[in-house]
């Protein structure tokens, strides 16, 4: 199956698994996806993730249903229309209750971390 936007596919798989209360979900592997998942893990939106031992080329994501549950998970920057933000224009989501994940020159990080470091970049997705 050919996917034009692998990040949107990953977010859709996670969103759908949350809606049916699955314990884990398998996602095709890539470096960018692992970096986005590590930001989500650091901010406690998912429990853990690891490269699947059963199926080669997939990431096994353990979902979290604790205090920081995702209500919405949406892609902001798309392959046909990239969205960039300067360090002063990084959006706050729900007055700080959510977050944006950004791709900066120092790597993939949360919008609040990019703001602290004075970095701008491409806004990958919003979580709230």
Per-residue confidence in pLDDT tens, the chain, 128 aa:
666 899 999 999 999 999 999 999 999 999 999 999 999 999 999 999 999 888 899 999 999 887 767 889 999 999 989 999 999 999 999 888 899 999 999 999 999 999 999 999 999 999 98
Q: 13 exposed, middle or buried (CB, 10 Å; 0-12, 13-18, 19+)? A: middle
What does pTM read for this prediction?
0.91
What the block records as the tokens of 38 is: 């590590």
Q: Which residues of 25-51 are buried (b: 16+ CB within 10 A; e: fewer)?
A: bebebeeebebbbebbbebebbeebee
Q: What is the pLDDT, as a whole number, of residue 1?
A: 61
Task: Delineate the domains of the chain, giving CATH numbers in brackets.
Answer: 6-63 (3.30.1370.30), 73-127 (3.30.1490.10)
Q: What is the pLDDT, as a whole number, of residue 81?
A: 94
Q: What is the pLDDT, as a whole number, of residue 12?
A: 95
């Amino acid at each position: 199956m050919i996917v034009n936007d692998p990040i949107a596919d990953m977010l859709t798989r996670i969103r759908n698994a949350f809606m049916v209360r699955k314990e884990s979900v398998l996602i095709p592997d890539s470096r960018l996806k692992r970096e986005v998942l590590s930001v989500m893990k650091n901010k406690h939106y998912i429990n853990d993730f690891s490269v699947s031992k059963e199926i080669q080329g997939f990431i096994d994501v353990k979902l979290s249903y604790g205090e920081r549950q995702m209500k919405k998970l949406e892609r902001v920057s798309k392959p046909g229309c990239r969205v960039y933000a300067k360090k002063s224009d990084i959006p706050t989501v729900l007055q700080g209750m959510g977050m944006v994940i950004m791709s900066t020159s120092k790597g993939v990080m949360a919008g609040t971390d990019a703001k602290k470091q004075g970095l701008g970049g491409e806004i990958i997705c919003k979580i709230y």
